[in-house]
Amino acid sequence: MKKTKRLLHATFLALATLGSLAGCAVTSGQSSVGDYIDDKTISARVKTRFAQDETVSAMRIQVETLNGVVQLSGFARSEAERTRAGELARSVSGVRSVRNDIIVRPPTQ
């Protein structure tokens, strides 16, 4: 009896979670919950690559993904950092293209 109750509870929670994703998942230009989740995964992977790289600041550069197209924005301290951020984004699986809108702003002294 306890197992059945736990199974029903787990099933209810899973269905409620899926239902909440379906309600907020599709944004302009996206066709499904899966597309939304894929785009969020791509963005997270790009940010992870930034965090692992010594050249790129994951804190100053924002990443947005829509249908596999990654848009980078924010500020880089050098053209090398801007270029490297684009390279890292392109290297992530699932990325169709990259819009590199990062502005180079050298640090003030």
What is the per-residue pLDDT across 44-83, written as a single tens digit (0 to 9) for each? 999 999 999 999 999 999 999 999 999 999 999 999 999 9
Look at residue 3 in the predicted model and tell me its pLDDT. Answer: 58
Which of 89, 88, 96, 85 is closest to 35 using CA atoms?
A: 96
Would 53 be classed as within a structural domain?
Answer: yes
Residue with tokens 């909440």: 20
The average confidence (pLDDT) of the chain is 81
Look at residue 7 in the predicted model and tell me its pLDDT. Answer: 45
Rounded mean pLDDT of 77-95? Answer: 96
Look at residue 37 in the predicted model and tell me its pLDDT. Answer: 81
Number of folded domains that form the chain: 1
Name the residue range of residue 43's domain: 28-104
Q: How many residues does the chain have?
A: 109
Q: What is the CATH number of the domain that holds 72?
A: 3.30.1340.30
Look at residue 92 in the predicted model and tell me its pLDDT. Answer: 96
- Confidence class for position 100, pLDDT limits 50, 70, 90: very high
Taking a C-beta distance cutoff of 8 angstroms, is the pair 98, 90 a contact?
Answer: yes
Alpha helices in the chain, H assignment, sequence order: 2-24, 33-52, 79-90
Would 63 be classed as within a structural domain?
Answer: yes
